[in-house]
Amino acid sequence: MNLLIQDAGRYYREHFGEPNIIVRSPGRINLIGEHTDYNDGFALPASIDNAVYVSIGARTDDQIHLFSVDYKEFYKGNTATIEISLQSWANYILAIVDVLQKAGYNCGGFNAVVRGDIPIGAGLSSSAAVECATIFALNELFGFKLDRMTMVKMAQQAENEFIGVRCGIMDQFASMFGKPDQVIELDCRSLDYTYFPFESAEYELLLINSRVKHSLADSEYNLRRLDCEAGVAHLQRFHPNIKSLRDATPEIVKQELHLLDKKIVQRCLYVVEEIARVQEACEDLKRGDFISFGKKMFITHKGLSELYNVSCPELDFLVNAAAAHKDVIGARMMGGGFGGCTLNLVKKEALAEFIDRVSETYLETYGVLPGAYPVTIEGGTAVVGPAK
Ligand code: GLA
């Protein structure tokens, strides 16, 4: 059995007795469609093998006792006073209790142990994974009978309101709805979604971790949302039908936004172009045209770096290194930005050589060895225990 499930059970038994349930919720990649989710656009995420495991058991009082295996820390509190904790890992669990209780789903006291292997701050959505594992486990434990989409929305709300990051729905959705070997084309406006396989005999998806830790709670992420909202508010004066950037086109943005700050025009232009690009990119993948898909990844990166300004020198370095390698057909920064990983589309036979080369030059330039993880697409949130 997976060692992390074993750990989640073992530490629970050591500290609290027998758990009622162990839930796994994965991190995610996003092939294309970055910063489009909160603009009602499209994204193309998939859930990965790295995941968070939460073992939970009910208590007879109103106490919440938590243990993080990775931080080697306990948290103690109670369901009556849910407040932001200085132990940041505990906040993602508390955020879920808070959102459930505010919606009238009263949680009894519980114990929980958290164990995971999603690199933190790497743009792989470790926080969404903790939130999804927690809400799924509490839903089972207390019999709330919430469906998956409702849990996704509540987990997003928890992140927005308790944690204070105004994230879109993509991360929580991908963690909860992922399927093995499938990518998910998600329409973030209607929440319609389509699975299709990511299948290639020739190419592999590879994550390279810059090891620059980002913090989305840092105001920059929320500022990007405000810039998009400012753009929409301005466009609406001339086009009342525009409810979000999903409804605009590059032409409209260029025509109507010239009165505004150049920065806002650039942000909106990136988003509008990216929303259109995702749909074309999905067609590329369905046709098996990886070369065309890879080119779009590079274009997305340029937009994220030069127009949306969410990249950093280290990520640009990694993407440039990929672009300079003949067997890497696409690369871009992935997730919220300001650090974390690049996603690369690499010829299978060149994988090891590319990893060696990029690791060496990155180490020479930045004094750190980057992480390199070939991606495996695994299933979404599920009960995985208890089993001894
Ligand atoms: C973070 C957010 C997501 C999404 C991405 C950027 O991961 O949590 O909602 O906005 O950034 O695409």
The residue to mutate among 29, 37, 163, 184, having the most atoms of ligand 1 within 8 angstroms of its beta carbon, is 37
Distance from Cα 225 to the centre of ligand 1, integer Å: 11
Evaluated on CA atoms 43, 44, 49, 53, the torsion sign reads: positive
Nearest residue CA, atom 11 of ligand 1? 336
Q: Which domains does the chain have, with CATH numbers?
A: 3-198+378-385 (3.30.230.10), 203-374 (3.30.70.890)
Q: Establish whether residue 335 lines the binding site of ligand 1, counting it when its CB lies within 6 angstroms of any ligand atom.
A: yes
Q: CA 231: distance to chain centroid? A: 25
- With a CB cutoff of 8 Å and minimum separation 6, the contacts of 103 are 154
7 as an active site residue: the answer is no
How are strands ordered across the β-sheet holding 203-209?
328-333, 341-347, 203-209, 371-374
- For residue 370, say if its preceding peptide bond is cis, omega within 30 degrees of 0: no
**Per-residue pLDDT tens digits for 319-375:** 999 999 999 999 999 999 999 999 999 999 999 999 999 999 999 999 999 999 999
- Exposure on the CB side of residue 15, measured as CA atoms within 13 A: 24
**Per-residue pLDDT tens digits for 152-205:** 999 999 999 999 999 999 999 999 999 999 999 999 999 999 999 988 889 999
Distance from Cα 132 to the centre of ligand 1, integer Å: 15
Instruction: Answer yes or no: pTM beyond 0.95.
Output: yes
**Per-residue pLDDT tens digits for 102-137:** 999 999 999 999 999 999 888 999 999 999 999 999
Contact 212, 83 (CB under 8 A): no
Distance from Cα 167 to the centre of ligand 1, integer Å: 6
User: Of these residues, 171, 227, 247, 316, which one is catalytic?
Assistant: 171
Of 243, 19, 25, residue with least CA distance to 126: 25
The Cα–Cα gap between 60 and 62 comes to 7
pLDDT attached to residue 216 = 58
Q: Establish whether residue 171 lines the binding site of ligand 1, counting it when its CB lies within 6 angstroms of any ligand atom.
A: yes
357-386 CB burial, b ≥16 within 10 A, e <16: ebbebbeeebeeebebbebebbbbbeebbb
